[in-house]
Amino acid sequence: MLGLEMKNRLFPCFRHLKNSRILEHPVITLLLIVHLLLGYRRLGDLTYYHDDPMVKRLFGLNQLPDPSKVSHALSCIDGMSIARVRELCRKLVIERLKKIALYRLTLDFDGSVLATLSRTSEGTEGWVITGRKREPASYYYP
């Protein structure tokens, strides 16, 4: 993928896990990366490009997996795999930063406040009274 050898670099992250006969964990990880790059967020959205020959060719597959198989493969991934993928991401970012030799780098950590109107366990709606206003309960999403 883009000359980064992502598939080969992802294999050590999942070496300790047992792969299914159909899907390897590095392929699932790449599929999720492409899924996000295409602008999709839900696994069910795989069906929109399920028959796309270019995506199939990218992964070297004759057929893309359905969302349930992807979900099952993701359920087998453990904390060690996640830590290794995070480390790989850090290495990739540092490699690219060294390659482009930036003079200055600005990191902007910004979060969003998302409102929720879900029902609480007591059956009341999630509203908070602040001063004189009644506002929806919310949480911080980094």
The fraction of the chain above a pLDDT of 90, given in percent, is 15
pLDDT of residue 142: 53
pLDDT of residue 97: 86
pLDDT of residue 66: 87
Average pLDDT along the chain: 79
Q: Which residues contact 133 (CB under 8 A, 6 or more apart)?
A: none
pLDDT in tens, 32-66: 999 998 899 899 999 898 888 998 888 888 888 88
Domain boundaries, the chain: 6-100, 112-141
pLDDT band at 121 (very low <50, low <70, confident <90, very high): very low
If you average pLDDT over residues 54-79, what whole number do you get? 87
pLDDT: is 3 or 101 the higher one? 101
pLDDT of residue 80: 92
pTM for this prediction: 0.64
The fraction of the chain above a pLDDT of 70, given in percent, is 72
DSSP string for residues in 55-72: HHHHHT-SSPPPHHHHHH
Q: Which of 76, 46, 50 is nearest to 62 (CA)?
A: 50
Tell me, what DSSP letter sits at residue 133? E
pLDDT of residue 123: 46
Q: Which of 1, 9, 2, 8 is nearest to 88 (CA)?
A: 9
Q: Is pLDDT of 90 > 90?
A: yes
pLDDT of residue 82: 92
